[in-house]
A and B are shown apart, each in its own frame.
Chain A
């Protein structure tokens, strides 16, 4: 359907995502070694249409999409969900209003 990105770009993309999610020690992680092994193994193929290579390419694209989407989802969650409930004053302040005050107290309070 949609054209798939070339293998080198996918490889770089996956490594970037790993670095973003794990941190500076990403090149000692399991995933890094496995991904590099797989890319090296599937790079050279004797046949013109190697099914294993096509499948590995498709899988790598899928995994890159998953990693990128998870990171975007986490960023969105942090942006919109972290604060939770805010007080009445701050909720009103968000739209530029202030809560009404009634000096002398409301009649039913004691």
Chain B
């Protein structure tokens, strides 16, 4: 029985070793392994560069390998500025790779992979849901110094939003909160629709 167990471990072990997954002649396509956040990955590349592919998209290259997203897709940035910023993040890594410092890379990966499969409309609805329970609209009536503080800090923000987008929000001190009229929500929905999918991802992704 033990011999069978040992034989089972053989093929499983092979799958995990990177040499078998990406044989030498396919090194250009080798994926960057994002798995095992605990293990310390050393910086395995020397140079970072960008290249332009068809469709006006930009790719990031680590030495001779192309960068890929954790979902396995090829990493493509819609413009040169984003590609250069991501390349700079990878270039700024010293001996070990610290993924928590590569914020733009993470956001781009989320936009490309879309792991929760959200459409733009779902993201807009989710963002608008926060409007009903926004802290700035919830006021208390006492103690007076807190009321004063709320008035000084939060009122300018509310006035700015109301003037800028020509909407009514208002603040309230009861537990149910302000009544947001439908026109306000529609105005915001219209404004949010003008952003493209990448910008919406950047706005609504939770930066853990």
Contact = CB atoms under 8 A, between A and B. Distances in A.
A22 B91 CA distance: 7
Interface in B97-132: 98, 100-101, 103-104
B32 interface: no
A22 B87 CA distance: 11
A51 B98 CA distance: 37
B85 A63 contact: yes
Nearest to A63: B85
Chain B contact surface mostly: helix
Contacts of B84: 30-31, 34
Contacts, number: 37
| Contact-residue size bin, chain B (C-beta under 8 Å from the other chain) | 10 to 19
B160 A30 contact: no
Describe A's contact surface by its main secondary structure. Answer: helix
A66 B50 CA distance: 21
A10 interface: no
A98 interface: no
Contacts of B155: none
B101 A74 contact: yes
Nearest to B87: A30
Interface string A83-101: 0000000000000000000
A77 B96 CA distance: 14
Residues of A in contact with B, size category: 10 to 19
Given A1-B160, A66-B103, A70-B103, A34 B81 contact: yes
A42 interface: no
Contacts of A63: 85
26 contacts: A1-B160, A21-B88, A22-B91, A29-B88, A29-B91, A30-B48, A30-B50, A30-B87, A30-B88, A30-B91, A31-B84, A31-B85, A31-B87, A31-B88, A31-B91, A34-B80, A34-B81, A38-B81, A59-B81, A66-B103, A70-B101, A70-B103, A73-B100, A73-B101, A74-B101, A77-B100
Interface of A: 1, 18, 21-22, 29-31, 34, 38, 59, 63, 66, 70, 73-74, 77
* Closest 3 pairs between A and B when the two form their complex, measured CB to CB: A21-B92, A31-B88, A34-B84
